[in-house]
Chain A
Amino acid sequence: MRDALGAAFLAVLSVTFAVAAARIPFETSLWVWYTSPGFFPLLMALGLALFSVAIGYRGFLTWRTRRTTGESPGWRAHVRQWGAGRLIAALVMIGAFLLLLGRLPFTVASAMLITAMTLAFRDDSLLHSLRAAAAGALVIVALLLFFTRVFGIPLP
């Protein structure tokens, strides 16, 4: 099923690119078909679409075989075991961090992210994690200041 879903997404993506590429004129006063800006992306999109259909068909056959033999993957348990909850939480925190960029100093936003993630994903006691978060935030702020002063790196 994963193969079929992945292939479906890739097929949609390649068709989108193919349609957009086909809309670029192939012949104008400035170029002919083989120098057209749409020529190469159209070829690549068609190739990708072809491969995606092949993978999708193969994935569909596998899924149908498993359904026929009665195999039940138990996708909810699998998703939980895979760590989807932690991943979503991490992505939410990263999204919040990105929103804060430009609104807060980068060093402050970085310290907040480290603290939030250390506490949210801790494997230790709260006190230990707070200490680790404080140490991590201090180190990263020092490192960022080092990058700006020594290497002249601009911060967001």
Chain B
Amino acid sequence: MDLGSLFAGLWRLLLDPLTIAFVFVGAQAGIIFGMMPGLTTTTALSLLTGLTFSLPAERAIAVLMGAYVGSVTGGSRSAILINIPGTPAQAAVCLDGYPLARQGRAAEAIGLSVTASTIGSLFGFVMLALFTPMLGALALRFGTWEFFWLAIVGVVVAGGLTAPTDPLKGWIAGFLGLLLATVGQDGIHAFPRFTLGRTELSGGFALIPVLIGAYGIPEVLNAIRKRERFVVQTRLDRVLPRFAEVLVHKWHIFRSGVIGLIIGIIPGVGSDVASWISYDTARRASRKPEDFGKGSIEGLIAAETGDNACIGGDIIPVLTFAVPGSAPAAVLLAALTIHGLRPGPLLVLEQPHVVGQIVAISLVGTLAVFVLSLLWVRQMVRVLLIPRSVLMPAVFIICVTGAYALSARLFDVYVMVVFGVIGLALGELGYPVAPLVLGFILGPMAEDNLRRGLTLTGGDPTPFLTRPISLVLVALLLTSVVVRTPLPAWMRQRVLIWRTQARPGVS
């Protein structure tokens, strides 16, 4: 990115203290949401998108970016103090954070976690600033045929990665999302489809109620049906930043940052995968792998850096291709669209100052989370003591408010509840929700580009399979499916026999 856009964005932000204040508000809200087990980053962003609908675009984005960084960072509080991740991204943090707390080093663990998170976020946003213009230039070479395949590849890859033991369920969830996105008037002829004669459905299902429903409501219902009690270690010494200790592990940080960034760019896969892969890679590279799981600082730093670097990676495809890198990024994409911005290659080309503003806000958001995480940690920990029986109904009411806020329709509240029940049922049956949501978001992109591509060629599908970039995407799609598809039993038997014959004595 030309540094001029970035500095212009930063300068403009510094001259607008009210926007900086909104960054801090978002960051604080995000930290609290992130800390609460069951309240995900996606839920936080979905609610805040609805609640900030009436704000100017820049301030709404300020709140959302602050909340995005805050919730990913805040989840480590509960991971360290009660061994339950605040958001799925902190599951790996539990492995070494909680043992450190049990050793009486909770404050140290939180200090390390906050410092590593800050470095990871900064790394991710610097890469966002550098890579967005490059990928934006590449995205300009994509035609309608390539955007169709991009949408399908995104859904299939997300389905395979979010359900690694049973990718078929992931693909089913993705196809269900693509199908549900067709409800309402179609994008070319405005023909009403599957509306059951109801005018409320002519616009289809609104995205924010679907997101709040799919991610927030199942967590509320699951928290109520389970009788969980947390034992919280509230005794905390002073929490200090630990730059010197963290930077001793600079190679773990760099490696985890790169992993987080790459994972973030892949559609549908989010911070939780980045955190686990970073953790596992650090364990393999460590000189003391036996310490992992018992309070290893390397493990804690790697997991935190990876999941925070992923945020910048998530946003890169949002700005360049209008394809979300993760569920929270999908909410961000929706928010940008709601506020009149058009993410995609043209945004980078024609409005680089918008990209500069987003990067500037993200950097300030990272610093806001850093400051707030260290200042209020002992007070914020008390939030964990609120009984679930009080907290979850309160969260539900905020969900209703968020779903209603966008269009002032009770119908959106009903949609939220229905998708909440669908999300709960899918979760219990082992289907991941992320591909469903991604399919819902990318459905219009897939359909419009398929129909447009066929219109341009008079019904001839050949360009979908012969254009160079399309071929690459098709190859990626087939590879993803073949690699994830387990062999049938009879074929596995044959492979085993062949291996035994080829290498006698080795099974």
Spell out A's residues near B (CB within 8 Å).
2-3, 6, 10, 13-14, 17, 20-21, 24, 30-35, 37-41, 44-45, 47-48, 51-52, 54-55, 82-84, 86-87, 90-91, 94, 98, 101-102, 110, 113-114, 117-118, 120-124, 129, 132-133, 135-136, 139-140, 143-144, 147, 151-156
Contacts and interface: CB of A to CB of B under 8 A. Distances in A.
Contacts of B55: 151
Given A102-B410, A121-B389, 4 more contacts: A37-B186, A37-B193, A41-B194, A156-B401
Nearest to A6: B429
A45 B396 CA distance: 32
A152 B172 CA distance: 40
Given A40-B451, A41-B194, A154-B404, A129 B226 contact: no
Given A118-B390, A123-B229, A140-B397, A48 B172 contact: yes
B121 interface: no
B193 A10 contact: no
B387 A83 contact: no
B390 A6 contact: no
B405 interface: yes
A83 B225 contact: yes
A45 B179 contact: yes
Contact of B459 (A33, A87, A143, A153): A33
A153 B54 contact: yes
Contacts of B428: 2
B192 to A, nearest CB: 9
Range class of the B interface residue count? 35 or more
B405 A154 contact: yes
Contact of A122 (B54, B175, B389, B417): B389
Contacts of B390: 114, 117-118, 132-133, 135-136
A34 B178 contact: no
B408 A154 contact: yes
Contact of B189 (A31, A41, A102): A31
A123 B227 contact: yes
A24 B466 CA distance: 31
B247 to A, nearest CB: 40
A121 B147 CA distance: 49
Contacts of B408: 154
A30 to B, nearest CB: 6
A101 B148 CA distance: 41
The 3 closest A-B pairs by CB, nearest first: A83-B225, A34-B454, A136-B390
Nearest to A111: B397
Interface in B150-200: 168-169, 171-172, 175-176, 178-179, 182, 186, 188-189, 191, 193-194
B394 interface: yes
B407 to A, nearest CB: 10
B194 A17 contact: yes
Contact of B394 (A2, A6, A114, A124): A114
B224 A90 contact: yes
A21 B391 CA distance: 43
Nearest to B188: A35
Nearest to B426: A6
A81 to B, nearest CB: 10
A143 B398 contact: yes
A155 B404 CA distance: 7
B477 interface: no
A47 B194 contact: no
21 contacts: A2-B428, A6-B425, A10-B172, A20-B193, A31-B188, A40-B451, A41-B179, A51-B168, A83-B225, A86-B227, A87-B221, A98-B414, A102-B410, A113-B397, A117-B392, A121-B388, A122-B389, A129-B389, A154-B408, A155-B404, A156-B413
Interface string B374-406: 000000000000011111111011101100110
Nearest to A119: B389
B280 to A, nearest CB: 29
B193 A139 contact: no
A34 B54 contact: no
Given A34-B454, A102-B410, A156 B175 contact: no
B450 interface: yes
Contacts of B62: none
B480 interface: no
Contacts of A84: 225
A44 B178 contact: yes
Interface in B415-431: 417, 421, 425, 428-431
B455 interface: yes
B219 interface: no
Contacts of B455: 34-35
Contacts of B446: 40
B83 to A, nearest CB: 19
A132 B225 CA distance: 19
A31 B194 CA distance: 19
A131 to B, nearest CB: 10
Given A37-B186, A48-B176, A94 B396 contact: yes
A39 B193 CA distance: 11
B492 to A, nearest CB: 15
A146 B168 CA distance: 45
A25 to B, nearest CB: 10
Contact of A30 (B189, B226, B413, B430): B189
